[in-house]
């Protein structure tokens, strides 16, 4: 273990929620509503089950090597060369996911807020803030997250409370007009977002009380489901199922739409605050995993050395491959649903299988 930090089960739970919801709450509703229409709020239910499967697999694997992270024990299971290669693949995956998050974060700010500011500049400052957190270690990220959480929950709470009067129950009818299939399709899309619980592979060793890991995972899955379900429901309740299809960031529009007594207005700033605080922590978590994975692959003793190259790499990937909005949404709604499960579930499950067969690691 390259990071000596220790986090509590509550911190792990909060960290996992942010690592998932911080970007999902802004990007996911629009895509899901495109698929599942007015029943989209249901789509937060089914992915919870798939998330649970991912969590169970990851925990089972992690428990075999309680003091090591995923990329550290891969060579022990698969042999030196294949293990290193797979660790390298996961390094690439984490860097890639980081760059997608980075792209999402800067794209929202760019589109909705600072149009003339170059995306690269935004990405650099957001990235610098995040890698500063990574530099300080997982413990600090977890603590920062504890500070971010109240801001986050309070903002969501305020927004939902203020739009509550504009919610039209008619917008939820007719229920399941086109059958259950669209919901399942939407759930499939959501599942890949919700599968980010696979970060447990990289976070498990830091947990101070290992027996609480299931509690953290389950609470995390339930909380995320409730959060995203409520957000999606609020969007549909106010805008119906047709308008959000056209919107890129429906929750942002929702916050803009708030007007209470013509005085509580223009509180879209809450979304930006939530978004920035959340994304900086989320990015830090992914960067941390990427840096540790990279250091393991390269056999470095200090993971901090990899930070600046990774930052540069993510910005370059983000700018080169996701330069326009289309390629990002294409990735999120067409590639990620397949790509996600593979790295989140299939590979860890195979590794677990091999570990069980070869009897590597302690008993899970």
Partner 1 sequence: MIMLLRKIFFSLLVIILLFTSGCWNRREMDTLTVNSALGFDLIETNGETKILLSVLTIKPSQAIGGAGDMAGGGAGQQQSVTGQVISITGDTVEDAVRNWNQCSSRQLFMAHTVLFVIGESVAKEGIGWVIDFGTRNRDIPERALVVVCEGTARDALQAQPEFEPLLSTEVYNILNQNRYFTSKSKATDIIETMYDLLTPGRDVSLAFLKTFVPPEKGSSVRQTPQSIDGKDSEGEQPDHKVPTVAGAVVFRGEKAVGRLNEAETQGMLFIMGEAQGGIISVAFDSTGKNTSFLFRDVNTKVKTVIEKNEISFQVEIKGTGELISAAPGTIDITNRSDIQKMEHMINKEVVYRCRKAVNKAQELGSDPFGFGDKLHRTHPDVWKKIENHWGEIFPHVKVNITADFSVEHSGLIDKSLHIR
Partner 2 sequence: MESWENMISFLRWLGKLLKHMTAEPTGALLKPGDPGYQEAHTLTTNLDKNIKIITEIFGLSDDLMVRGMKIGRGKKQVRVAVIYLDPLINHTRLQQGLMHCLQTIDHLPSMGVTTEWLINNALSDGRVIEKKSFVEITDEINRGAACLLIEGLDQALLIRLAEKIGRAVEGPVTENVSKGAHDAFNEDVRTNIALLRKRLHTTRLAVENLQIGELTKTEVKLVYLKGYVIEGLVDEIKSRVRRIRIDGIVDSGQVEELIQDSAFSLFSLLDSTERPDKLAANLLEGKAGLLFDNTPIAIIIPGTLINQIQSPEDYYQRYWFSSWIRVLRWLALLTALLGPSLWIAIITFHQELLPTELLMTILVTREGVPFPGLVEALIMELSLEVLREAGLRLPQTFGQTISIVGAVVLGQAAVSAGLASPGMVIVVALTAIASFVIPTQPLSNTIRILRFPFMLLAASFGLIGIIVGFSILTYHLCSLRSYGIPFLSPLAPLSFGDLKDTLIRAPIWKMLFRPRLIGYREPQRQNPDQRPHPPSRKGKKFIRRRKQ
Binding site for partner 1 (CB under 8 A): 111-118, 121, 124-125, 128, 170, 173-174, 177, 239-240, 242-243, 246-247, 253, 256-257, 259, 262, 265-266
Residue 153 binds which one of partner 1, partner 2, none, with CB within 5 to 8 A depending on kind? none
Q: What minimum distance in Å lies between the beta carbon of 269 and partner 2?
A: 6
- Residue 178 carries which DSSP code? T
For the record, the structure tokens of 251 come out as: 């929750």
319 binds partner 2 (CB under 8 A): no
Site residues (CB under 8 A) for partner 2, limited to 261-290? 265-266, 269, 272-273, 276-277, 280
- Residue 331 carries which DSSP code? I
Q: What minimum distance in Å lies between the beta carbon of 105 and partner 2?
A: 10
Residue 109 binds which one of partner 1, partner 2, none, with CB within 5 to 8 A depending on kind? partner 2
Angle at alpha carbon of residue 319, lines to 327 and 152, rounded to 5°:
80
137 binds partner 2 (CB under 8 A): yes
Residues 6+ apart with CB under 8 A from 295: 2, 301, 302, 303, 305, 306
For the record, the structure tokens of 4 come out as: 């000596």
- Provide the Cα torsion 92, 98, 103, 108; round to 10°: 160
Among 132, 157, 246, 338, binds partner 2 (CB under 8 A): 132
CA distance 43 to 36: 8
Q: What minimum distance in Å lies between the beta carbon of 219 and partner 2?
A: 15
Q: By the 8 A CB rule, do 344 and 198 touch?
A: yes
> Applying CB under 8 A, what is the total number of residues that bind partner 2?
32
Q: What minimum distance in Å lies between the beta carbon of 57 and partner 2?
A: 29
Q: What minimum distance in Å lies between the beta carbon of 122 and partner 1?
A: 10
Query: In this complex, which beta carbon is closest to partner 2, that of residue 128 or of residue 312?
Result: 128
CA distance 231 to 84: 41
Residue 259 phi, psi dihedral angles, 5° rounding: -150, 110
Residue 159 phi, psi dihedral angles, 5° rounding: -65, -50
Cis peptide before 174 (omega within 30 of 0): yes
Query: In this complex, which beta carbon is closest to partner 2, that of residue 262 or of residue 359?
Result: 262
Residues that bind partner 2 (CB under 8 A): 8, 10-11, 109, 113-114, 117, 121-122, 125-126, 128-129, 132-133, 136-137, 140-144, 146-147, 265-266, 269, 272-273, 276-277, 280
């Amino acid at each position: 273990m390259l990071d000596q930090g220790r986090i509590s089960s509550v911190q792990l739970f909060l960290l996992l929620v942010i690592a998932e919801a911080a970007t999902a709450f802004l990007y996911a509703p629009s895509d899901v509503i495109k698929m599942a229409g007015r029943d989209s709020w249901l789509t937060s239910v089914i992915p919870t089950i798939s998330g649970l499967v991912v969590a169970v697999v990851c925990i089972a694997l992690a428990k075999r090597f309680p003091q090591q992270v995923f990329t550290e024990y891969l060579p022990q299971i698969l042999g030196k060369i294949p293990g290193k290669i797979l660790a390298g693949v996961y390094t690439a995956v984490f860097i890639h996911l980081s760059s997608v998050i980075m792209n999402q974060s800067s794209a929202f700010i760019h589109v909705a807020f600072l149009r003339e500011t170059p995306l690269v500049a935004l990405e650099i400052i957001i990235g610098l803030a995040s890698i500063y957190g990574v530099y300080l270690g997982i413990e600090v990220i977890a603590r920062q997250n504890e500070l971010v959480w109240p801001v986050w929950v309070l903002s969501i709470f305020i927004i939902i409370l203020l739009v509550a009067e504009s919610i039209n129950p008619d917008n939820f009818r007719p229920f399941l007009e086109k059958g259950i299939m669209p919901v399942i399709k939407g759930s499939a899309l959501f599942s890949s977002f919700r599968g980010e619980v696979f970060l447990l592979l990289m976070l498990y060793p830091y947990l101070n009380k290992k027996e609480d890991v299931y509690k953290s995972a389950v609470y995390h899955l339930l909380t995320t489901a409730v959060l995203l379900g409520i957000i999606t429901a609020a969007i549909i309740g106010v805008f119906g199922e047709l308008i959000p299809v056209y919107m890129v960031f429906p929750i942002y529009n929702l916050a803009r739409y708030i007007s209470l007594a013509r005085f509580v207005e223009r509180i879209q700033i809450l979304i930006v605050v939530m978004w920035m605080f959340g994304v900086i922590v989320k990015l830090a978590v992914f960067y941390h995993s990427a840096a540790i994975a990279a250091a393991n692959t390269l056999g470095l003793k200090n993971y901090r050395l990899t930070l600046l190259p990774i930052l540069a790499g993510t910005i370059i990937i983000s700018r080169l491959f996701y330069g326009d909005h289309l390629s990002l949404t294409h990735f999120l709604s067409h590639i990620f649903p397949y790509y996600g499960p593979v790295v989140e579930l299939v590979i860890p499950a195979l590794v677990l299988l091999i570990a069980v067969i070869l009897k590597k690691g302690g008993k899970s």
